[in-house]
């Protein structure tokens, strides 16, 4: 690279604006190996403290998008729009597993490029890795074939899709630079732009389990993403949704897949999870001109669930990507189960008044369900189920949750962590969907 990476880092450290050429050179160095992981960490920290202008964000996003292949779906002759949604991450957020197949059942095509867990949040890929045989890193030909045939494919970044972001993403996770609006914006949109989308809906979380815990910060991130995406020619709307408590009643990997299967088959649908999923799906259908209004979109989404069409699309996607064809019929035969499963007693009787959702996510990480280093393995079996929600009454008969752990000692630590995260008192839960933001 013509500009020394340490000089680019120094300029950003000192609060100077970087040119498009400097940003492009730094990203090119990421791909070539001229920029080291230590320099990526220093750059990320400089951006965390100094920020980026809108022009820098657009340049950084474009550079990471074009660091690899940009997909083009026009040659497949798809009879519907190419759509996607992305969440900023939370605890018990398994929406993608139910959303993508339902949108596919409504006529959309969803090539969803997802990530692994970041910090205290769960990752969609870590959940899917708990399905035996499921290929979260297929080659581009298989990815395109599954999207065409099943209508949806949820995968990770292949080696040729936004490769620069893979490096930045992994470094952010372990250097306390996850919560940077410019870095989040570029990371999300580089993958989405590389996927060749026609429209995108963002799920920006707010509350104690969100990277942006305040509504003000969530609005800032939503506006950044909508602005950069629109500037890059990708129609995007954002919904700000609540993460003041786990979204599903399960938090972990295999346990969230099982929760999603229950949702798709109609065995159980957590009310707040259903509301957020319907709202996001309705926005996707409207942007894709598959529904005239959000109300029409909600009706179509509900129809996909009630008819079993969404479940059929999910089963087709799983099988096409190497997973078991009978996963929906026999989930217990395929999903890992933890050797220790026991109740988490409530520290006192009464109604749940507040939940430190970030602490719940960190408890799952401590169980082994997440990472503290990029190379750490993930225990797909561990986590929580039957999580009490804000306003629920807990007592000797109704515990805070069931903990799924690898050992009694791990279960003890997770029990203490969950008890500390939940407070008894008056509940003031946020509405599941708080605001809609357009560029």
What is the structure's pLDDT at 232?
81
What is the layout of strands, in order, in the sheet containing 251-252?
A: 251-252, 383-385, 401-405, 340-344
What is the structure's pLDDT at 1?
54
* Rounded distance between C-alpha atoms, residue 391 and residue 237, angstroms: 31
Q: Which residues contact 260 (CB under 8 A, 6 or more apart)?
A: 94, 97, 98, 127, 314
Active site residues: 84-87, 124, 172, 187, 191-192
3-state secondary structure of 203: strand
CATH architecture of the region 5-51: Up-down Bundle (1.20)
DSSP characters over 350-401 = EEEEEE-HHHHHHHHIIIIIS-SSTT----TT-EEESPPPTT-EESSSS-SE
3-state secondary structure of 314: helix
Fold of the CATH domain 74-331+434-438: Pyrimidine Nucleoside Phosphorylase; Chain A, domain 2 (3.40.1030)
Q: For the purposes of burial, counting CB atoms within 10 Å of the CB of 12, is it exposed (0-12), middle (13-18) or buried (19 or more)?
A: buried
Q: Which residues pair with 199 in a beta bridge?
A: 83
Domain layout of the chain by residue ranges: 5-51, 74-331+434-438, 336-424
Beta strand pairing call for 83-87 and 199-206: parallel
Smallest CA-to-CA distance from 254 within 134, 357, 88, 152 is with: 134
Averaged pLDDT, groups of 10, the chain, 439 residues long: 87 96 96 95 97 94 93 92 93 97 98 80 90 94 95 88 89 87 92 92 94 90 91 90 97 97 98 98 97 98 98 98 98 97 95 96 94 81 98 95 98 98 92 92
What is the structure's pLDDT at 233?
81
Domain at 336-424, CATH from 3.90.1170.30, 3.30.70.20, 3.40.1280.10, 3.40.50.300: 3.90.1170.30
């Amino acid at each position: 690279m013509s500009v020394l990476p340490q000089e680019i880092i120094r300029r950003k450290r000192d609060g100077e604006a970087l040119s498009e050429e400097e940003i492009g050179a730094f990203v090119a160095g990421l791909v070539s190996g001229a920029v080291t992981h230590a320099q990526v960490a220093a750059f990320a920290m400089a951006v965390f403290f100094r920020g980026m202008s809108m022009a820098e964000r657009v340049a950084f996003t474009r550079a990471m998008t074009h660091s690899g292949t940009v997909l083009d779906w026009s040659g497949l002759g798809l009879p519907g729009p190419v759509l996607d949604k992305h969440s900023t991450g939370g605890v018990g957020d398994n929406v993608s597993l139910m959303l993508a197949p339902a949108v596919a059942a409504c006529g959309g095509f969803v090539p969803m490029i997802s990530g692994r867990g970041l910090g205290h949040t769960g990752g969609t890929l870590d959940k899917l890795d708990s399905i035996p045989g499921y290929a979260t890193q297929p080659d581009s030909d298989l990815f395109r074939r599954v999207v065409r045939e099943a209508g949806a494919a949820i995968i990770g970044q292949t080696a040729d899709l936004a490769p620069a972001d893979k490096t930045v993403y992994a470094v952010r996770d372990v250097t306390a630079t996850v919560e940077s609006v410019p870095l989040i914006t570029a990371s999300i949109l580089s993958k989405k732009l590389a996927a060749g989308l026609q429209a995108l809906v963002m799920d920006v979380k707010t509350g104690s389990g969100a990277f942006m815990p305040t509504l003000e910060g969530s609005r800032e991130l939503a506006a950044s993403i909508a602005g950069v995406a629109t500037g890059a020619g990708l129609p995007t709307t954002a919904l700000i949704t609540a993460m003041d408590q786990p979204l599903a009643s399960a938090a972990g990997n295999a346990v969230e897949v099982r929760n999603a299967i229950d949702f798709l088959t109609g065995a159980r649908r957590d009310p707040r999870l259903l509301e957020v999923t319907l709202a996001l799906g309705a926005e996707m259908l409207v942007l894709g001109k598959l529904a005239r209004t959000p109300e029409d979109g909600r009706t179509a989404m509900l129809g996909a669930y009630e008819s079993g069409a969404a479940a059929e699309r999910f089963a087709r996607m799983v099988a096409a990507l190497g997973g078991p064809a009978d996963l929906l019929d026999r989930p217990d035969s395929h999903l890992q189960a933890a050797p220790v499963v026991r109740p988490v007693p409530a520290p006192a009787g009464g109604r749940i008044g507040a939940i430190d959702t970030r602490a719940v996510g960190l408890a799952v990480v401590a169980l082994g369900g997440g990472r503290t280093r990029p190379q750490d393995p993930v225990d797909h079996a561990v986590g929580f189920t039957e999580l009490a929600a804000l306003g629920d009454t807990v007592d000797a008969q109704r515990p805070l949750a069931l903990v799924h752990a690898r050992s009694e000692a791990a279960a003890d630590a997770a029990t203490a962590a969950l008890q500390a995260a939940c407070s008894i008192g008056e509940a003031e839960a946020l509405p599941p969907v708080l605001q809609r933001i357009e560029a």
